[in-house]
Amino acid sequence: MNETSGDVAVIGGGVVGICAALFAQRAGFSVTLVDPVEPGSLTSFGNAGIVCGGHYVPTAMPRAPMELLKLALNRTTYASYRAEAVPGFLSWLAAFWRASAPENLYQTARDTLPAMGETVGLHRKLLAEADAGHLLWETGWLAVFRNEADFNASAAERDFARSAGVDFDVLSAREACELEPSLNPVFKRAINWRANASVSDPFAVSQAYLKLFLEAGGELRKAKVVSVAPVDGRWRIETDTGPFRSTQVIMAAGVWSAKLLRSLGYDFPLKPKRGYHRHFAPQGNAGLSRTVVDDTVGYVLAPMARGIRMTSGIELAGIDAPVSERMVQRIEPYARGLFPLGESLDEEPWMGRRPALPDSLPVVGKAPRHEGLWFDFGHAHMGLTFAPLTGLLLSQMMSGAKTIIDPRVFAPARYV
């Protein structure tokens, strides 16, 4: 196979890699996007479709002793683990515990405020360019709390959001059901986070952005990358269909990025926070006009083109561990109590692998020890939200342009 290629090879065809390729192309680079499967068909395919706007407080490990005991006993609805995977997660969990301290969570929230002011607008612009604006629903999303204690636990986030000027409403169960009449009032309080948006088909979003890239002359190479290595001032990308070379490489392979970078001396604490979804037909004329997050139980009900998508919390397991029904079985009774779900539309649950670093922020920027190597991975729960932003930011860093936000918030120096 011909080893020549464009200026930039983007490894990874999820929504993050697609956006990295698109914005690098728009910055003037010739770009090849490399992925073994259809772009957007793995982790990016099955998320809850949420595009966070306004503010971001990362997912955190509970501090309450009883919740920690339930986690240890594998008895929560929002998280699960495979016993055989625990040894490989111990150091990551220790770092996640430290990052979950309230002072660290809200430092992250402050640091990401400029980014959160850009996320929805970037998606709006790209989807309009792709004639796919109908996929974006700017209707906010609704967080519901089944007891006053859980609602009160959100006070710090509400105080932070209020101080940052984020638009939200605190609602009673009755008021929330006026917004979403199909909900059953099995909860006590709710928050309508107005600044957030959602998409009705995450895969279609990825495909829309891919179309923009390909129509502008981008190259898609369907191949599995085996290794990357600097050779004679360029990069040799070894794949299962043969090698090719590029002047620069963007590593955007999600959770698989860590393995590919290890041979270059980078040891990122990147782990898969696996998540599941299942689609249901709504009963009768029931429906949702916005995404609903059951904050107490730990799942999401998202109105999608296919039906109501129920997405789970996190499962700690190996990348290639078999799919398990356990998480969806735990949350489904609660979801049915909240909303009139009908028949399942999927034979088995879908599973994806969120690429998570302990501080729940991606690494975006230049590799410190290799010229022409760039990082754009580790987006965890924020892959869809951050994909256009980190793609644009990285392209600006690569071309020497003024950056849309201060890039230090995502700096690789946090880990290498």
Residues 314-365: pLDDT tens digits? 999 999 999 999 999 999 999 999 999 999 999 999 999 999 999 999 999 9
* Euclidean distance between CA atoms 266 and 302, whole angstroms: 37
pLDDT tens per residue across span 194-204? 999 999 999 99
Q: Which of 109, 209, 230, 201 is nearest to 158 (CA)?
A: 109
What pLDDT score does 137 carry? 98
Token pair 């959100």: residue: 154
Contact present, 255 and 92 (Cβ < 8 Å): no
Token pair recorded at residue 134: 């109908």
**Nearest of 61, 88, 8 to residue 250 by alpha carbon:** 8
Average pLDDT, the chain: 97
6 pLDDT band, cuts 50/70/90, is low
Write the pLDDT tens digit of every residue in 297-306: 999 999 999 9
Instruction: Specify the length of the chain in residues.
Output: 416
Please report, in angstroms and rounded to a whole number, the separation of the first and last CA atoms in the chain.
34
- CA atoms of 161 and 259, how far apart (whole Å): 37
Residue whose token pair is 């670093």 = 357
> Average pLDDT of 3-31?
92
Per-residue pLDDT band for 3 (boundaries 50, 70, 90) equals low
What would the pLDDT profile of 133-171 be if each residue is shown by its tens digit? 999 999 999 999 999 999 999 999 999 999 999 999 999
**Angle between helix 383-399 and helix 202-215 axes, rounded to 10 deg:** 20
Share of the chain above pLDDT 90, in %: 99
Position 67 scores a pLDDT of: 95
Tell me: pLDDT of 251 over 70.
yes
3-state secondary structure of 316: strand
Three-class secondary structure of residue 300 per DSSP? strand
pLDDT in tens, 366-378: 999 999 999 999 9
Closest CA to 297 of 332, 253, 262: 332
- Cα separation, 26 vs 225, whole angstroms: 24
Confidence band of 1 (pLDDT split at 50, 70, 90): very low
pLDDT one-digit tens code per residue, 384-415:
999 999 999 999 999 999 999 999 999 999 99
Q: Which residues pair with 52 in a beta bridge?
A: none
Q: Which residues contact 192 (CB under 8 A, 6 or more apart)?
A: 140, 141, 142, 168, 169, 171, 176, 179
Beta strands in 177-224 (DSSP E): 189-193, 197-199, 219-222
The per-residue DSSP string of 36-73 comes to: SS-TTSSGGGSS--EE--S---------SHHHHHHHHT
| Domains in the chain, CATH or no CATH each | 1-60+100-136+198-270+357-416 (3.50.50.60), 141-194+274-351 (3.30.9.10)
In this predicted structure, the answer to whether residue 102 has a pLDDT above a threshold of 70 is yes
Residue 4 has pLDDT above 70, yes or no: no
Name the β-bridge partners of 237: 228, 244
